[in-house]
Structure formats: C-alpha cells, structure tokens
C-alpha cells in the first residue's frame, strides 16, 4: 500500500456470549474504528479479529499475538481498539502491553474510553500508564527478592541444584556421584594441570569448572545477593580444601565467575 498518511491497525474482539448480551458485533466495532481512524488522518493497514476468544490471556488470542509482532516490526504507527476490555481484562497485561507500544513509538487509541496518544493529553495518559508499569515491575521485583532472601536465610536453595546434588522436596541431596566433587577440588589443588585439561577430564566447560571450584554450596552454605547463609544440606568438601583452592585460583590470576 502506497500512502503518505500514517498507517493504523485495528483490533477487534468479541465472544459469542458478549455479542448476544451487548449486541456489539465485530462489524460494528470495525466500522466505528475505521471511521475514527480515517477522521484522525490514518489509513487502515489491517484489521485484526479475534472472534469468540477470551480476554483473559493475550497468548490465547492469535490475532492479538500477531498484532503485537507487527507492532514491534513497526508496520504501522497506531493501534485502534473499541474499548479497553476488548484489548485485555487483565490490568497487568494491559499496562505491560501499552508500555511496550510506547517503547515501539506506536500510538494507542481506545474509542469508547476516550484514550489516545495522538494528542498532548493522550501522551500524558500514556506516560502515566507507563509509570504504573514500571512501578508494578519494581514491586514485583522487590517481592521476589524478599521471598528469595527468606528462602536463603532459611538455608534452602534458590536456584537449581549444582553438580553433585539433586533437588528433592526443595532440599539439596547429595547424588551417588557426589564424591567426585572432592576429587575435582583435589585434582586442581594437587596436580599441575590446566583448567582446560581438567575441565575436559570431567566433561565440563572451563567456565563450568570455575563455577564448581568457587561454589560455596559445597561447604554447606547458601549464597544470595552477596550474603552467605548456613544451609540445611550436607557439605561435600571441607572449608580447608575450599580455601586452599581459592588461594591457588588467586595466585594463578583466575578470576571468579
């Protein structure tokens, strides 16, 4: 399509139940949105239709998913919807989606809610919604960190089990091959062998071997957010062996990961 006007996408959604109850068909939404887009100086590039789809989950609406893919690809400059609940009934999904559109410089227009970002007042609303999105992310991050810190302080693992352990009922349990952990530490400490050769011997990458040699979990500890706590699991090596290995790593100029 060759045009000098900015391009718009229209998104319409209605379930069979909603159409019967409210009488707002897809055709009615399309017509109203096409007229409004044209009045604001846009040419409609495409109409995305999710008929009979729930608003609960964006992933369950294929046309919505495609709309967002095309938005990220900057195929149009604005999205027109009939009403916010056509877009999403989840406030969190709505806020996060609109925040993405802002990053992609895509305008957002909701006809019935009188929300649009093509004017100064609309852009202000966009900024407010984006601020809420950032606030929500920060709150979620703080809650997650608090929860993980509590788990670590209780001596329980917060990541997957390192080599030599397995997770059972959220507890670290030594595997039948856990004795090899001490072998790796002893080999590194007592043999004049490169990390590359030692890693190859045990089928690790060099970085994987470094992580093992510096992992305090093998001391019966749990580390999170630069804090170390006593774990509830069994240690696989002694603190003496661990410290000797750290000293050798430092002397060899091998940086910790």
Residue matched to tokens 């093509």: 118
How many Å apart are CA 48 and CA 62, to the nearest integer?
Answer: 9
User: What is the helix (H) or strand (E) element at residue 138, kind and residue range?
Assistant: helix 120-153
What residues act catalytically? Answer: 15
SS3 assignment for the chain: CCCCCCEEEEEEEECHHHHHHHCCCHHHHHHHHHHHHHHCCCEEEEEEEEECCCCCCHHHCHHHHHHHHHHHCCCCCEEEECCHHHHCCCHHHHHHHHHHHHHCCCEEEECCCCEECCCHHHHHHHHHHHHHHHHHHHHHHHHHHHHHHHHHHCCCCCCCCCCCEEEECCEEEECCCCHHHHHHHHHHHHCCCCHHHHHHHCCCCHHHHHHHHCCHHHHCEEEECCEEEECCCCCCCCHHHHHHHHHHHHHCCCCCC
HSE value, Cβ hemisphere, 13 Å, CA-based, for 153: 6
Contact 217, 223 (CB under 8 A): yes
């Amino acid at each position: 399509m060759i045009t000098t006007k900015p391009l718009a996408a229209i998104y319409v959604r209605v379930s069979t139940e909603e159409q019967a109850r409210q009488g707002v068909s897809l055709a009615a939404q399309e017509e109203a949105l096409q007229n409004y887009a044209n009045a604001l100086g846009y040419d409609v590039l495409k109409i995305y239709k999710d008929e009979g789809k729930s608003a609960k989950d964006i992933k369950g609406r294929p046309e919505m998913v495609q709309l967002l893919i095309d938005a990220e690809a900057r195929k149009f400059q604005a999205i027109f919807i009939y009403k916010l609940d056509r877009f999403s009934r989840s406030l969190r999904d709505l806020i996060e989606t609109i925040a993405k559109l802002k990053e992609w410089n895509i305008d957002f227009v909701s006809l019935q809610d009188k929300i649009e970002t093509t004017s100064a007042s609309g852009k202000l609303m966009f900024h407010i919604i984006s601020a809420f999105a950032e606030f929500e992310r920060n709150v979620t991050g703080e809650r997650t960190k608090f929860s993980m810190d509590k788990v670590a302080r209780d001596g329980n693992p917060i990541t997957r089990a390192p080599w030599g352990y397995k997770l059972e009922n959220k507890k670290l349990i030594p595997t039948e091959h856990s004795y090899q952990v001490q072998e790796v530490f002893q080999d590194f400490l007592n043999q004049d062998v490169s990390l590359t050769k030692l890693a190859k011997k045990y089928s690790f990458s060099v970085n994987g071997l470094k992580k093992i040699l510096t992992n305090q979990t093998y001391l019966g500890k749990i580390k999170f957010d630069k804090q170390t706590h006593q774990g509830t699991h069994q240690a696989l090596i002694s603190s003496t062996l661990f410290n000797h290995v750290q000293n050798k790593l430092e002397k060899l100029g091998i940086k910790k990961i």
